[in-house]
Amino acid sequence: MSESITEEKTYKPTSPNSKLDFQSVWEYDSAPESSANLEIKDQYQLFINGKFVKPEKGRYFKSINPATEEEITEFAEATQKDVDKAVKAARKAFEGEWSKISGKTRGKYIYRIARMLQERAREFAIAESMDGGKPIRESRDVDIPLVAAHFFYYAGWADKLDYAFPGKKPEPLGVCGQIIPWNFPLLMLAWKIAPALACGNTVVLKPAETTSLTAMLFAELVKDAGLPDGVVNIITGAGQTGAAIVNHSGIDKIAFTGSTTVGKIIQKSLAGTHKKYTLELGGKGALIVFEDAAIDQAVEGIINAIFFNQGHVCCAGSRLLVQEGIADKVIMKLRDRMESLIVGDPLDKNTDIGAINSKQQFETVNQYLEIGVNEGADVYQSKCEIPDSGYFIRPTLFTNVSQSNRVVQEEIFGPVLTIQTFRTADEAIEKANNTPFGLAGGVWTDKGSKIFRVGKELRSGVIWANTYNKFDPTSPFGGYKESGVGREGGLHGLAAYVNLK
Ligand code: NAP
Ligand code: MG
């Protein structure tokens, strides 16, 4: 007797040994998060000295939802004069009330920000997904909780700075210029603002052009939290606005997160000035999977390492190095797992991979797909459906690549993984270290001793073992080589915002 279609699609409880074909039997209905309660203004002004003010030249730029290509709102374009106004406000605040109040009171303000972020978490998560394209599951469960955790963590340090640096007297640096990228907009803001305020500094922050929405919602929150005027200033604009902050003589420290290319320009402009700086730049993380690893666990780790946030992750594991004997098995399991990833509407709670952040990045990733093919690599993409409009790219694997290929050496910043094999641990280490970057890496093995040996020899700021992309505010983060200068997070992150006497 043949089964009807209805019967085929009905879930039947199975015995542990029977096989259930998830892909053909199960379908997900859409489960969109409602954005009805999120109030987005038609236009956002600059947040300077505790007030929302119009930009000097009255110019604005549009912000797009990358999943729909529709305009969401517009942001003010800050000129050099606006930057000057913000820096002066920050200086006045630094020399006034903010440097006089106790660490305990500063801590209270930061705790208040943390609690208000938790209260408005849903609003921030929806805004982050609409403006930047990341799945709501990630902005809701990863970005925003980590943002609040950062503020909570550094609030705790505000009245304990003397204990953080025994025998030394920590003093704030003054006015900090902070420039952040578009991949974790609010989280990068938290990494910058929380430690700066805890140490008694004031800030002028510029979010990235394509993702300024949550920074402006944060500005509203700062106003509601009653922070003294000028302690936090948030100004929007493009690269030029960033450069005006970097080159302003009233700035004492630059904290930059972004590409290595722009990082190098900033480092050159800061050379010979009094300004301190930290630079958190690009990466090309290696994932090393040994034959003795728990393979299914490793496959989950790889999926998370490269497809989390569409691969727009500085520490993404974008190069898989798998030991020869298990390569075929790992690739097969990886392909199977990739087929189950849902690519689409970032606001749908089922979505695993959302939209590429902007048209520009969409074109960049597509160019790399072409480069890989022209370099002779074999390409595999999952067969999932993708929406007709918006910037979407299917999860992609490149096999048959060599170490000198551009797709192996350069940061693609998209859902694209290259796969190479190795025979010995030394070969894996050699290949892993053979790029200009050194931000993060992962090792999968059953042997603790191997983890320590390989971990020690990898020239990377962060090494995860048998897992990937785990973050915590207490843990320092930063790069070797062209991945940056300095550390953010944890005690190290405090040290970057004080002078020690
Ligand atoms: P980006 O192009 O370097 O931009 C970063 C920020 O700098 C943006 O706000 C940008 O403004 C601004 N900017 C551009 N040109 C500038 C200039 N000449 N002077 C001062 N500021 C300038 O990087 P992105 O494409 O936004 O971000 C992706 C990069 O960030 C990747 O390479 C990624 O690896 C890196 N990243 C690193 C970390 C880390 O912790 N190491 C974390 C996250 C991301 P506009 O965008 O408005 O032009
Ligand atoms: Mg946008």
For 436-455, what is each residue's pLDDT tens digit?
A: 999 999 999 999 999 999 99
Task: Determine whether the shortest distance from the Cβ of 77 to ligand 1 is under 6 A.
Answer: no
421-435 pLDDT, tens digit per residue, is: 999 999 999 999 999
Task: Determine whether the shortest distance from the Cβ of 191 to ligand 1 is under 6 A.
Answer: no
Q: Say how far apart CA 85 and CA 234 lie, in whole Å.
A: 11
CA 73 to ligand 2 centroid distance, Å: 9
CA 259 to ligand 1 centroid distance, Å: 5
The CATH class of the 286-465 domain is alpha beta
Catalytic residues: 280, 314
Question: CATH 3.40.605.10 spans which residues of the chain?
Answer: 45-281+483-500
Name which residue sits closest to atom 19 of ligand 1, judged by CA. Answer: 243
Name which residue sits closest to atom 4 of ligand 1, judged by CA. Answer: 258
**Is the pLDDT reported for residue 1 higher than 90?**
no
User: How confident is the model over 205-212, as a mean pLDDT?
Assistant: 98
pLDDT number for residue 20: 53
Q: Which of 11-15, 31-35, 286-290 has the highest mean pLDDT?
A: 286-290
DSSP 8-state class, residue 272: T
pLDDT number for residue 13: 44
Ligand in closest contact with the CA of 66: 2
Task: Determine whether the shortest distance from the Cβ of 439 to ligand 1 is under 6 A.
Answer: yes
CA 333 to ligand 2 centroid distance, Å: 34
> How confident is residue 16, by pLDDT bands cut at 50, 70 and 90?
very low
Ligand in closest contact with the CA of 177: 1
Q: Say how far apart CA 173 and CA 414 lie, in whole Å.
A: 36
CATH number corresponding to 45-281+483-500:
3.40.605.10
**Is the pLDDT reported for residue 415 higher than 50?**
yes
Question: CATH 3.40.309.10 spans which residues of the chain?
Answer: 286-465
The residue among 262, 301, 300 whose CA lies nearest residue 279 is: 262
User: How confident is the model over 158-181, as a mean pLDDT?
Assistant: 96
Name which residue sits closest to atom 42 of ligand 1, judged by CA. Answer: 314
CA 283 to ligand 2 centroid distance, Å: 23
User: How confident is the model over 216-242, as a mean pLDDT?
Assistant: 98
Task: Determine whether the shortest distance from the Cβ of 143 to ligand 1 is under 6 A.
Answer: no
pLDDT number for residue 197: 98
Q: Say how far apart CA 446 and CA 102 lie, in whole Å.
A: 49
Ramachandran angles phi, psi of 143, nearest 5°: -55, -60
Task: Determine whether the shortest distance from the Cβ of 78 to ligand 1 is under 6 A.
Answer: no
Task: Determine whether the shortest distance from the Cβ of 208 to ligand 1 is under 6 A.
Answer: yes
Task: Determine whether the shortest distance from the Cβ of 283 to ligand 1 is under 6 A.
Answer: yes
Pocket test for ligand 1, best of 60, 146, 182, 361 (most atoms within 8 A of CB): 182
Question: What is residue 392's three-state secondary structure?
Answer: coil
> How confident is residue 27, by pLDDT bands cut at 50, 70 and 90?
confident
Mean pLDDT of the chain: 94
pLDDT number for residue 100: 87
440-494 pLDDT, tens digit per residue, is: 999 999 999 999 999 999 999 999 999 999 999 999 999 999 999 999 999 999 9
Q: What is the pTM of this model?
A: 0.94
Ramachandran angles phi, psi of 358, nearest 5°: -150, 165
Helical H segments across 233-294, by residue range? 239-246, 260-270
Instruction: Classify 313 in phi/psi space as left (phi over 0), alpha (psi -120 to 50) or beta.
Output: beta
The dihedral built from the CA positions of residue 62, 57, 242 and 83, taken in this order, carries a sign that is negative
Ligand in closest contact with the CA of 181: 1
**Is the pLDDT reported for residue 374 higher than 50?**
yes
